[in-house]
Amino acid sequence: MTVEEPLAPTTRRAARTGPIPTEPHDSEAGSTITDDTVPIEGVPVDEALAGTGPVDAAPAETLPVEPLEQEHELAETEVLPDGMLPAEASPAPDAPPAHVALAWLDEERVTPRPITQPTFVNQDLLAHRPRRSLIRAGVIVPTALAVLVVAAYTIAMLLWPLNAVEPTVSPITVEPAPAPATALPWPAEGSAAVTVDGIGGVPASSADAAAIASITKVVTALLVLDESPLAVGEAGISFRFSFADNLNYWSYRARGESALDVPVGGELSQYQMLEGMLIGSANNYADRLAGNWWPSDAVFADAAQQWLTSHGVPGVTIVEPTGMDSRNAASPAALITLAQKALENPVIAEIVAKRSVELPGAGLVENTNALLADPGVIGIKTGTLDRWNLLSAKDITVGETPVRLYAAVLGQPDEEARIAASRALYTQLELELQLKPSVPAGTVAGSVETEWGDQVDIVTAADASVILWNGGIGEVVTNFALEDSRTAGNDVGALSVTGPLDATTVSLRLADDIGPPDAWWRLTHPLELLGLD
């Protein structure tokens, strides 16, 4: 009896895969389903890696069923031995469901697909570039900041003070105008010399010495006062006179000499004796004074030469105290120096300026210098032998400055000639000493320059005039104080001119406005404005 094999259980797995052999035959070994037969090549890598369980625990529905069904069909058509009929399938007992690996995989998605060459699409990323709006924070904020910075810079530079770029002042050398050379009217006869006290230089028509006659008495007075000094107002020592002195006076007159009577039984002071000698040109007074200190003319002459040499009066020769000897001689220029020395002594200066004096014994004594009638003339001494001489001085005022002039005229033919020659020389001197601009108004004394290229001249506001003579020239000094001045006409300093006798100062002014820098310069020169250059 044939035992029929029980029919396989009709489960979903059995129906799909057929009966599962319990002991595989060798012939069926090749068709046994294993994990190695599962085609996983077609499973996408990202989906395989996305699972949460191991591959062998996947559900069975995802496994391929085609090989198992083929094996089942072969088993059903298997030929039985002769005489045997296929047994009717008996229902198999229900078997427990088996766990299928990779049951979670989608069967369609793990089906192998042919590998093809990938196709790359080149897309122009800028072909359809989106239009970005300008009204967004990334654009508005930087733009606004830039505008604010530019505006702040512009306002700051346009309003920044110019303290760090002050204009600079450059002095310009000013050459003062010299005084014209003198053109004096020298006398037709004799010789002459002149000078302006304090200026220097003694122009003379001749350097030859000539007899000075009674001008010698100036030397005598200087020597007497050197031996017996007097202050202004002092009388000095006294000199007594007798009848013999009166007789001596008449002897002088008989010889044609200038002399004054004396107070018989009376006395004259040293000061009065000097007055009679210098104003009345009394030879007897000169001899009496000299004889009181020097016993002879020779001794006096030696003393005179020593004094003249030690006091810087060269060119004068003295052999006796009165001037009656024609060997008493000097050049006109030397007499100018002598006159200056004489007027330095206040006692002599006081006496020679007097036009007359009352003396005991002599009465009213008139000054022999007729030039004293002219305003400003202050002496000094006449002298006459066979020619007429005059040594004089005159005080004038130039501007507001007192000026003293000296003139020595020798060898004139008469009294009128020596007066006229002296007056002509003084007139010319006064004309030449009139104030003339050493530095005229409008003279450029400096310039102001700015960093932005503006330039303005600094000029004198008025004439700068000092007393000059015979080619003399003043000394110019400029001082600048620009400070905040920027307008034409503003005072920005001073120019001073100093001459030998006086000095003057005039203002320095801006010739034009100092313009401010333009906006472009301000915006393009921040370092200069800020003082950082």
pLDDT digits (tens, 9 = 90+) for 102-131: 666 666 666 666 666 666 666 665 556 666
Say if CB 289 and CB 273 are below 8 A apart: yes
Domain limits for position 32:
1-118
Helices (H), 322-365: 332-344, 346-352
- Are residues 408 and 314 located together in one domain of the fold? yes
What ranges in 163-205 are assigned the alpha helix state H?
A: none
Asked if residue 430 is part of any domain, the answer here is no
Task: Tell me if 446 is assigned to some domain.
Answer: yes
User: How far is the C-alpha of 305 from the C-alpha of 287, rounded, in Å?
Assistant: 17
In-domain check, residue 489:
yes
What are the pLDDT digits (tens) for 419-461? 999 999 999 999 999 999 999 999 999 999 999 999 999 999 9
Is 214 considered catalytic here? yes
Report whether 401 contacts 375 (CB < 8 A): no
* Domain co-membership, 203 together with 281: yes
Q: What is the pLDDT of residue 124?
A: 62
376 lies in some domain: yes
Same structural domain, 463 and 354: no
Do 452 and 333 share a domain, yes or no?
no
- Domain membership of residue 159 (yes or no) is no
Strand ranges of the sheet holding 210-211, from the earlier edge strand across to the other edge = 210-211, 329-330, 316-317
Q: Which of 281, 422, 438, 465 is catalytic?
A: 281
pLDDT of res. 91 = 52
- Segment 495-510 shows an average pLDDT of 97
**CATH number, position 315:** 3.40.710.10
Residue 264 clears pLDDT 50, i.e. is over it: yes
Residues 269, 395, single domain; the answer is yes
Catalytic residue list contains 281? yes
- Binding site per annotation, positions for substrate: 381
The pLDDT assigned to 134 comes to 64
**Same domain membership, residue 322 and residue 395:** yes
Amino acid at site 367: N
Q: Mark which of 412, 447, 470 sits at the end of a domain.
A: 412
Binding residues: 381
Are 369 and 442 members of one domain? Answer: no
Structural domain count, the chain:
3
40-54, 215-229, 251-265, 391-405: segment of lowest average pLDDT: 40-54
Q: Based on the fold, state whether residues 447 and 405 are members of the same structural domain.
A: no
Q: Which of 377, 412, 447 is the last residue of a domain?
A: 412
> Mean pLDDT throughout 212-227?
98
- pLDDT at site 144: 87
The number of C-alpha atoms within 13 Å of 529 and in the hemisphere containing its C-beta is: 19
Give the model confidence (pLDDT) of 20-74 as tens digits: 444 444 444 444 444 444 444 444 444 444 444 443 444 444 444 444 444 444 4
Q: 12-21, 262-271, 375-384 — which is least confidently predicted?
A: 12-21
516 found inside a domain = yes
Q: Write down the pLDDT at residue 2.
A: 43
Q: Which of 191, 217, 392, 438 is catalytic?
A: 217
Please tell me whether residues 327 and 468 are part of one structural domain. no
- Structure confidence by residue, pLDDT tens digits, 307-338: 999 999 999 999 999 999 999 999 999 999 99
Is residue 234 domain-shared with residue 381, that is, in the same domain? yes
Residue 200 lies in a domain: yes
Q: Residue 102 in contact with residue 59, Cβ under 8 Å?
A: yes
Does residue 145 lie within any of the structural domains?
no
For residues 341 and 246, membership in a common domain is answered with yes
pTM value? 0.70
Same domain as 371, residue 511: no
